[in-house]
Amino acid sequence: MIYDAEKRNVTMAITGESLISRQMKVFTEKQFLALKDVITSADVSFTNAEMLFHNYEDAPSTVPGGTYMRCDPQYIEDLKWMGFDIVATANNHAWDFGENGVLTNIQNLDKYGLPYAGTGVNLASASAPTYLDTNAGRVALISATTSGPPGGRAGDQRRDVRGRPGPNYIRWTTEWNVDEEMIKGLKLVADKLGWSETMKNRAAKGAEFEDNSDKLSPPSDDLVYFLDHASYQDESYTKFVKGSSIQKRTYINESDLKRNLERVSDAKRMSDWVLFTVHNHEGGATENEPSDHIKVLAHAVIDAGADMFIGHGPHQDRGIEIYKGKPIFYSLGDFILQNDTVELMPHDNMIRQNLSWEGTPADFYDARDGSAYTADKIANRGQTIEPIRWESAVATVQFEKGEMIKLELLPIDLGYGKERSQRGRPVLASGQVAKQVLERFQSLSEPFGTKITIDGDKGIINL
């Protein structure tokens, strides 16, 4: 044995969303620095960088959003100071400032030396792995999103046309099973509006829809399509099928799945460890459950050679599955949540909150929360009122000889109910908050056959 990497031993620290808009280095609370030690002591540490790092050089896009994400680029150094080695950039906010915003963000990540995956100058670069060399081996990261504006996804390069900057977007289709009475009513609407004829012609041509490029079956008495003409580029559909009960299913786009599996296979042959991460908002039967297409994706990427699947996006935790000895995090919730201290907001967004030209960012956040903010009053709408948005965990995953032997969950507290100027920065949780987080993970993971043992303020999965 010549190299340490040959031992196939590694410890990884994994987190969910980092919506950072402020400094981290200046704080000295004991539980904050203890959390930093957890992240810095791992061989590789990951987070989803869900802020665009820029100085408002680029115009905002027209995509409706809760927050147009922005962080001063200098705070990339604060993420690195906390111990993060590699980040994902494919998420629903990647397009907040259009194509130029995508490019400015990755230019700043390059400038400050933080490796990223998930966005690029075209689809090939957005889908490509990024690599990180560590003493425990070479680590590959592939990042994708199933959430966000479909028209904002990265585009393919041609021999005669440049590709389009954007995120590595994975498309999916919703199919509803409905009863006979409902299918008749839906068919009547689709026929009257000409959607049935449109889809019949599309199916006859073997055409692919921009937003859902799987091959189509023609509409019938048992199959109805509803179209979404939000824009010509983003034309998509929802599929209704006659069944015995009302039920929702989602299906992953096969061409997008194939592209990502090819990159996993490539990365497996180019590195010692492969991480695949996806940003997804979509739930299953409830918001606590992963959607069908995310479960398909998770299993497929591990079958293709990934060592870990990391989900994030719904701003809450979901269950953990151990599949073929590899961990699947269907969602890790917020790690940093500072999206209500972003310093500026486009006028379009102000109007959505019924604010005039004179409105300020603080006015915007007050209006979005549903009440004027005061120190002794918790806002009554949005993420502010839901504790699950302000509690999650850091997962540390230990591999020996290439096999996962232990997974620990360390609960974090982001200051639910604190003032806007204070909340959103994580510290290691204890007591009631830690108990809530760990019991929630226990409950959400049980359907996957995953047993989590609670040991004080820590959750443990042993293999």
Contact 345, 68 (CB under 8 A): yes
- Give pLDDT, residue 46: 98
Give the separation between CA 191 and CA 137, rounded to whole angstroms. 58
The pLDDT tens digits of the residues spanning 258-298 come to: 999 999 999 999 999 999 999 999 999 889 999 999 999 99
The pLDDT tens digits of the residues spanning 13-40 come to: 999 999 999 999 999 999 999 999 999 9
Sequence-separated (6 or more) residues with CB below 8 Å from residue 102: 94, 95, 119, 165, 166, 167
Residue 353 structure tokens: 């909150």
Task: Give the side-chain half-sphere CA count within 13 A for 208.
Answer: 9
Boundary of a domain, candidates 252, 271, 301: 252
* 128 is a domain residue: yes
Contact 405, 460 (CB under 8 A): no
Give the separation between CA 22 and CA 338, rounded to whole angstroms. 7
Domain extent at residue 232? 172-252
Instruction: Read off the DSSP letter of residue 155.
Output: B
- Strand (E) or helix (H) holding 334: strand 334-337
Give 181-235 as a DSSP string: HHHHHHHHHHHHTTHHHHHHHHHHHT---SS--SPPPPPBTTEEEEEE-SSSTT-
Contact 369, 380 (CB under 8 A): yes
Boundary of a domain, candidates 202, 233, 252: 252
The pLDDT tens digits of the residues spanning 180-193 come to: 899 999 999 999 99
pTM of the model: 0.92
Q: Are residues 225 and 114 in the same domain?
A: no
Average pLDDT of every residue of the chain: 91
Q: Are residues 232 and 267 in the same domain?
A: no
pLDDT band at 374 (very low <50, low <70, confident <90, very high): very low
Q: Supply φ then ψ for residue 11, to 5 degrees.
A: -120, 130
Boundary of a domain, candidates 252, 283, 312: 252
The pLDDT tens digits of the residues spanning 197-254 come to: 988 888 887 655 544 445 678 899 999 988 865 433 445 678 899 988 888 899 999 9
Q: Are residues 273 and 397 in the same domain?
A: yes
Q: Residue 274 pairs with which residues in a beta bridge?
A: 140
* 166 is a domain residue: no
The set of long-range contacts for 425-428, using a CB threshold of 8 Å and a minimum separation of 24, is: 425/22, 425/24, 425/27, 425/32, 425/336, 425/338, 426/32, 426/35, 426/335, 426/336, 427/29, 427/31, 427/32, 427/35, 428/31, 428/32, 428/34, 428/35, 428/38, 428/457
The pLDDT tens digits of the residues spanning 294-329 come to: 999 999 999 999 999 999 999 999 999 999 999 999
Give me the CATH number covering residue 329. 3.60.21.10
Residue 258 structure tokens: 């194939």
Total domain count, the chain = 2
